């Protein structure tokens, strides 16, 4: 829009929903906003791990912004064939909101997107999920008109594209250029066979001709590439007429191997151009993702460096923090009850998909560390608070302060590996006058570990090294999308909401 570029990405079970980044040069980006801030827009209570927000689509029709998103209530492997995928639309005059209440669209599949045709009509696309035995579950891309006056879908549903031989056709986007409707889809599945495929038609309803040089982009069969899982693209152009493709990718820990992506699903840009035959091509002639691409002809626009440390002096939660499935509300989180501290009131266990008192931010580098200082006076073993490395409710490592009959108030590491609970360190008793406990987690590419301090100066290791891969999308039975998070949490399994106070949170990327 004008001199601004906006990019919307998935947030899955983390609240607020959808993440929008902002750039003025396609090189420097900042986290701008998360538009789905109200439970009326997004109620993920009980949603599965890596459910919730899938594949948002952000567009503008010259008057206002349209954000389309899926709220996934159930999904799983082929032994669980049904998927409950509800698609909604919200609008706003400004990218920073306020965003409207949601308009329900359909539930026939996921990856919805909205196309604004030059005749003023609007069209919704989504993949069609067919759960029946013996059928292609990815049953094609369906098209239906959206009436903005009636605020609902109208007219027939048309299946306009069944996909290429790569299969698993999803992630549709339409673009109109030189009299053609260009259909961009994701294929090959969202893992290591992922791809971007193009097709085109003179009519919006098809038939669509497959690009003879498909796929446009893929990492398939190239394990040596640093950017893997390349697929699910969308286009933007610049004021000077350059074109760029934003696409999903993953960077495995292991070099040259189809390994573990602890950073989850990331976003990359490739420069593209239209050839003489009107087909889209990557600049350079290949169809594999490059880690470095030509920057657009735009003035550089870096953003101010964000502080690593949050002292919790603001009444507003740092925008990098998200809560798990539920909105932040004063009954379990406060930045004002104790000045300069974040107070968490314990709720359900780390296995719960309903009401957890947990806030966390994404891990965005292989080498990084997080630190906090907590004050917590538990009365019994059912109350805990501390620092966590978290993937989902079945995969985490947690350094927490709690209480036991043998040692009183104590410090201990607990963990969950594929749902299997463990206690990888002994309890460390804490003196009755030792109110503050400093905690750190260090990610060092293949491994991560925890340290603690009783004065903020002298640090001691607690527990063993843990394998970073166990907080990856690929370790979670290939059924995860989020990547690792680091954050703060508190539990009170007795239901009395015992409060823990955190003095600060520091997140530092080391390389």
Q: What is the pLDDT of residue 79?
A: 77
pLDDT value at 511 more than 80: no
pLDDT tens string 356-397 = 999 999 999 999 999 999 999 999 999 999 999 999 999 999
pLDDT tens string 405-426 = 999 999 999 999 999 999 999 9
Q: If pLDDT is split at 50, 70 and 90, which confidence band does 80 have?
A: confident
User: Which residues are CB-neighbours of 209 under 8 A, at least 6 positions away?
Assistant: 199, 200, 201
User: Stretch 433-452: mean pLDDT, rounded?
Assistant: 97
pLDDT tens string 318-352 = 999 999 999 999 999 999 999 999 999 999 999 99
Q: What is the pLDDT of residue 78?
A: 65
Q: How far is CA 201 from the centre of its chain?
A: 33
Residue 73 and residue 49: Cα distance in Å, rounded?
A: 10
Answer whether 265's CB lies under 8 Å from 14's CB.
Answer: no
pLDDT value at 480 more than 90: no
pLDDT value at 76 more than 90: no
Bond before 162 cis per omega within 30 degrees: no
Residue 264 and residue 191: Cα distance in Å, rounded?
A: 11
DSSP assignments along 2-69, one per residue: TT-EEEEE--BTEESB-EEEEESSSSS-EEEE--B-STTT---TTPPTT-EEEEEEEEE-SS-EEEEE
**Torsion sign (Cα): 328, 329, 333, 338:** positive
Half-sphere exposure for 131 (CA within 13 Å, toward CB): 13
Q: How large a percentage of the chain has pLDDT more than 90?
A: 97
- Mean pLDDT for the chain overall: 97
User: Which residues are CB-neighbours of 78 under 8 A, at least 6 positions away?
Assistant: 137
User: Stretch 48-57: mean pLDDT, rounded?
Assistant: 97
Q: What is the pLDDT of residue 136?
A: 94
pLDDT tens string 109-156 = 999 999 999 999 999 999 999 999 999 999 999 999 999 999 999 999
Q: What is the pLDDT of residue 152?
A: 98
pLDDT value at 478 more than 70: no
CA distances from 38 to 42, 101, 321, 333, 429 (A): 6, 9, 16, 16, 42
Q: What is the pLDDT of residue 247?
A: 98
Q: What pTM value is reported for the model?
A: 0.97
Q: Which domains does the chain have, with CATH numbers?
A: 1-162 (2.115.10.20), 164-304 (2.115.10.20), 309-509 (2.60.120.200)
pLDDT value at 479 more than 90: no
Answer whether 505's CB lies under 8 Å from 372's CB.
Answer: yes
Q: In 3-state terms, what secondary structure has residue 469? A: helix
pLDDT tens string 281-330 = 999 999 999 999 999 999 999 999 999 999 999 999 999 999 999 999 99
Q: How large a percentage of the chain has pLDDT more than 70?
A: 99
Residue 199 and residue 182: Cα distance in Å, rounded?
A: 6
């Amino acid at each position: 829009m004008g001199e601004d570029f906006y990019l919307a990405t998935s947030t899955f079970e983390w609240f607020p929903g959808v993440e929008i980044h902002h750039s003025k040069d396609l090189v420097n980006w900042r986290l701008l906003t998360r538009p789905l801030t109200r439970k009326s827009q997004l109620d993920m209570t009980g949603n599965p791990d890596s459910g919730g927000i899938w594949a948002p689509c952000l567009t503008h029709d010259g008057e206002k912004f349209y954000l389309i998103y899926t709220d996934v209530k159930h999904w799983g492997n082929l032994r669980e064939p049904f998927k409950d995928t509800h698609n909604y639309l919200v609008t706003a005059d400004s990218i920073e909101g306020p965003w409207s209440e949601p308009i329900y669209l359909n539930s026939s599949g996921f990856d919805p997107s909205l196309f604004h045709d030059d005749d003023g009509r609007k069209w919704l696309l989504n993949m069609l999920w067919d759960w029946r035995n013996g059928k292609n579950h990815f049953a094609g891309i369906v098209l239906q008109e959206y009436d903005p006056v009636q605020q609902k879908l109208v007219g027939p549903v048309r299946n306009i594209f069944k996909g290429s031989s790569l299969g698993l056709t999803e992630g549709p986007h339409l673009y109109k250029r030189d009299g053609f409707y260009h259909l961009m889809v994701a294929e090959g599945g969202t893992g290591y066979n992922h791809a971007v495929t193009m097709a085109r038609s003179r009519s919006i309803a098809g038939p669509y001709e497959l690009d003879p040089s498909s796929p446009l982009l893929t990492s398939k069969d190239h394990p040596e590439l640093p950017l893997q899982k390349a697929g699910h693209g969308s286009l933007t152009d610049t004021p000077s007429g350059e074109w760029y493709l934003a696409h999903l990718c993953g960077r495995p820990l292991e070099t040259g191997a189809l390994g573990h992506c602890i950073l989850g699903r990331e976003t990359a840009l490739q420069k593209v151009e239209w050839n003489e035959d009107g087909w889209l091509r990557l600049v350079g002639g290949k169809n594999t993702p490059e880690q470095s691409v030509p920057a657009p002809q735009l003035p550089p626009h870096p953003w101010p460096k964000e502080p690593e440390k949050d002292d919790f002096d603001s009444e507003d939660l740092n925008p990098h923090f998200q809560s798990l499935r539920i909105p932040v509300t004063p009954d379990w989180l406060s930045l004002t009850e104790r000045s300069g501290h974040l107070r968490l009131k314990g709720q359900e266990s780390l296995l719960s998909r309903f009401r957890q008192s947990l806030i966390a931010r994404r891990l965005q580098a292989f080498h990084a560390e997080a630190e906090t200082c907590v004050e917590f006076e538990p009365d019994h073993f059912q109350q805990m608070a501390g620092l966590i490395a978290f993937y989902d409710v079945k995969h985490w490592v947690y350094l927490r302060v709690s209480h036991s009959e043998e040692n009183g108030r104590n410090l201990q590491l607990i963990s969950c590996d594929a749902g299997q609970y463990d206690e990888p360190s002994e309890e460390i008793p804490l003196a009755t006058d030792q109110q503050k406990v400093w905690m750190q987690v260090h990610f060092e590419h293949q491994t991560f570990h925890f340290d603690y301090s009783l004065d903020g100066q002298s640090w001691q290791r607690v527990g063993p090294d843990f394998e970073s891969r166990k907080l990856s999308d690929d370790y979670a039975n290939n059924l995860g999308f989020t990547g690792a998070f680091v954050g703060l949490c508190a539990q009170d399994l007795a239901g009395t909401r015992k409060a823990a106070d955190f003095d600060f949170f520091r997140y530092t990327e080391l390389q």
